[in-house]
Structure 1
Amino acid sequence: MRRKNMRRKNCRSRKSWLLTVGALLLAASVGFGVPLLLRKWQDDRRLSVVETEEAPEVRITSQTELSMVEKAELFQSADASTTVLEKGKNYDVTGSLAKAEEELAILCEMGVLDETFRTAEMTEQSADLIFYIDPSGEKSMIIWRLNSLIDTEKGRWILEAALDDETGKLLVLGIQEWNEGYGNGIRFGAAATDSDVTDSDVTDSDVTDSDVTDRAQKFGSYLGLTTERVTQSWELADAILSDGDKTDYDNQVRLYEKKGYTEEEARRLVSEEWGISDMNPDGSRTAQVVYREGDKGEVNYYLRLGSSGLAIYFAL
């Protein structure tokens, strides 16, 4: 009888132990397994649903004002980082194009451009906004790269320019008469080369040395800079010729002067004969211009002027 009772007690003990172990295992599975399953269900649900959130608008904050010397350096720096923006601090696309029209009118008033462009109609316009920043991250500027066709009483022209978002000034300017032979017309920041011009495009230009100097000085005034030096190619003869060649050069210049030419005209004629000339295939002339910005330093430009176009761009 006792043995039967003991067996029953042992059975009950085993059952209680098994139930206890089973309860612990169930609790463990609930405690650890359910959260994992819940998280997996939540993750699957999130992945199957596309959610969008509104991010704050990117705004251009005030930047350190750069001098023209610094802007020229940053504009041409190979180490500068550039980012395309949709809106500047002071102008959007529409505003930048409208501002460019105003600046063209100012350039007409100052004599940099012909009066024809005062009432010119800009068509097929485009404007790209570029944010420049130097490697240190301390200097930055916003420049609008503008392209447009311009219709005037004298025909169609191509405009390519760089407008400073800070000042609204045109820092770089290229205007070229539309010509199918040029393809896309004058290239931004570069004069046409021999391959750009066919024999039928070569024309005699009425542009003189004084015209080039005059335009350079007026563009400097537009930017608020002082014109320090305008050097045309024929003026480089003194620097590149040997002493013996320079003597022959000067003698030939004097011969032209005896024929009634001014010294400037004589030097240009001799330079062209010697292959030292700034005359381009299309009859335009080029010059290197050095501007000064107070005590901040020099700003170098190249200027190309012809009867069919004007290009003013930064030089190294």
Structure 2
Amino acid sequence: MWFRNLHLYRLHDAPQLDAAALEQVLGEQAFRPLGGSEARRLGWSAPAGRTDTQLLHELQGHRLLTAVRQERILPTSVVREEVEERAEAIETSEGRKLRRQERLTLKEQVFEELLPRAFVSSQRIDLWWDASRKLIGVNCASRKRAEEVLDLLRETLGSLKVTPLASQTLPMRAMTQWLADTGARPADLIIGDQVELKAKGDDGVVRGRQVDLDSDDMQQLLESGRQASKLALQIEGVMSFVLHDDLTIKGIRFSDAALDEAAQADDGDDALVRLETDFVLMAQVLGTSVDTLLQWLGGEAGQVREAS
């Protein structure tokens, strides 16, 4: 249940649905396994897994949804090899070269024939919806997959206006400044040991893991004009993560204190209670962490900052 990655979106003008109404519309887009000729399918599934049918868990203003994505994996090399074999057979029997359009038609035929026999890959993608903050976070590594889940939610609700969360100060600029100037770091920010630096030109990317980011070598790279596109950070006593230049958060590790609190909660050996306990604790940590991160970055883009 504990998220590893987070693609964050600001929610605008969300449809007003209570838990019962939302559960109903989610059911209309419930996941069904792939049919024989389908390449991919996406639908809602129970966050608790096969032992439960509840598609929505809502606790203290936080909503948990889970999408399941299935896709048939048909390697391009397999299709190409089959097309070549069939094309060669036709050319030999008819004594001529196949035209380009004939090869394209043959490729489509091969793909349709092989698709039902292809391996099926399944992926579960969790979505956290903070109703009070009007914030949505999708737990997956790929921005493309996150957008697919949002498209499913949009189709489910009938309308959904979201935009990627953005900050007043660009993450790349802030991360570079935090590396270059220790005095610019917020009091509760701890620099980790992982970084990715990009140059403005075509000088490639420098990546470092388990390195001292306050070293002279790092300062020389920054002085040469490189900027931080990824940086390992820690909110002291809360969680650690790698911040990306598009405000994506990856490699999340929750603090021992948060994990201990979850472990000590009495769930009565009920898997559903355990899921909900972990989720609400995690959601609270994520919510306050996003607030802190935006504060570090000068607030959210498009919002007027109050004078201090």
Q: What is the TM-score normalised by the length of structure 2?
A: 0.27
Relative contact order, higher structure (CA 8 A, sep 6+): 2
Structure with greater helix share of residues: 1
Structure whose alpha-carbon radius of gyration is higher = 1
Q: What is the TM-score normalised by the length of structure 1?
A: 0.26
